[in-house]
Amino acid sequence: MNPVEKAIWFIEGHFAEGITLDDIAASAGLSRFYMSRAFAVFTGRSVSGYLRGRRLTEAAKTLCSGAPDILCVALTAGYNSHEAFTRAFRDQFGLTPEQLRAQGHVENIPLVEPLKMDESFIMDIEAPRIVDGKAMLVAGIGARYNCETSKAIPSQWQRFNPHVGHISGQVGDVCYGVCCNSDDENNFDYIAGVEVTDFSDLPGEFSRVRIPGQKYLVFTHKDHISTIRSTMMTIWGKYLPESGHEVADAPNFERYGPEFDPRTGYGGLEVWIPIKA
């Protein structure tokens, strides 16, 4: 597994925190020097430049939506003052935060979007088990993606994780990444959430999805989370077409049990694909 892909996942899942080059290097099991060199060779960017660009890009998108408090956006992006944030923002984009908020779009600035991680097939993927899944209500933070923009899903989990354990009606300690409402253009909704007993008393910004009782193929992903795209591509591009199973028109999801560590990306997860009986 490429250690730079681990670093990319770690940055995407934690860039709103006060992470350092040492933290990023440790997540990949490398020294500071080796991490800096490998990241530059693999991506064409410095670690600090990518981290700064991702923070400021997310800040720019927030400002574009009309965020009233620029200092709050600055603090979320890791800057301790309005002045420091404005200086970094202007250096990155050529505009001040106030100017970007006033124009209301990001079409004319060089955003730093998430880098792609591994997308190769797994030749010896473990055969799935067949499970009769129960009906569930899942609630959490949702967003709409396509194949390209789905690279931002780790940052969505970063926004959701602080809610876990503090959600009204939460059932158990398992998290779910639910894909639903897909269309012919490969756009889909992704909800990072937990099972709940009902949809009352939830934060207003939460998305909700009803998952019916359904038969599933359950695949196990044991490697680091940064290689999940490889597992997904193998399931959808190789295993399912060759399996003879017919996929049902229902949500599919990732299941993150208590053994999964969102800080390190290790612990494994399951991918549940609905099939027709």
Q: What angle do CA 205, 209, 215 make, to 5 degrees?
A: 155
Q: Residue 271 falls within a domain, yes or no?
A: yes
Which range, of 35-44, 121-130, 185-194, averages the lowest pLDDT? Answer: 35-44
What separation in angstroms does the CA of 197 have from each of 137, 164, 170, 202, 210?
7, 15, 7, 11, 11
HSE (CB half, 13 Å, CA atoms) of 87? Answer: 6
**What whole-number distance in Å separates Cα of residue 253 and Cα of residue 238?**
18
**What whole-number distance in Å separates Cα of residue 153 and Cα of residue 190?**
8
CATH number at residue 268: 3.20.80.10
Residue 88 shares a structural domain with residue 182: no
pLDDT band at 118 (very low <50, low <70, confident <90, very high): low
Say what the pTM is: 0.76
- Containing structural domain, residue 240: 129-275
Residue 138 shares a structural domain with residue 67: no
Among 112, 188, 180, smallest CA distance to 147 is for 188
Q: Looking at the predicted structure, is the pLDDT value of residue 1 above 70?
A: no
Residues 6+ apart with CB under 8 A from 161: 262
Looking at the structure of the chain, the number of domains it has is 2
Cβ contact 215:132 at 8 Å: yes
Residue 29 shares a structural domain with residue 147: no
Q: Residue 89 falls within a domain, yes or no?
A: yes
At 191 the pLDDT is 98
Residue 97 shares a structural domain with residue 162: no
Residue 189 shares a structural domain with residue 90: no
Cβ contact 82:74 at 8 Å: yes
What's the average model confidence in pLDDT over 11-39? 89
Q: Residue 148 falls within a domain, yes or no?
A: yes
Instruction: Give, to the nearest 10 degrees, the angle between helix 47-64 and helix 3-14.
Output: 30
Which range, of 58-67, 108-117, 146-155, averages the lowest pLDDT? Answer: 146-155
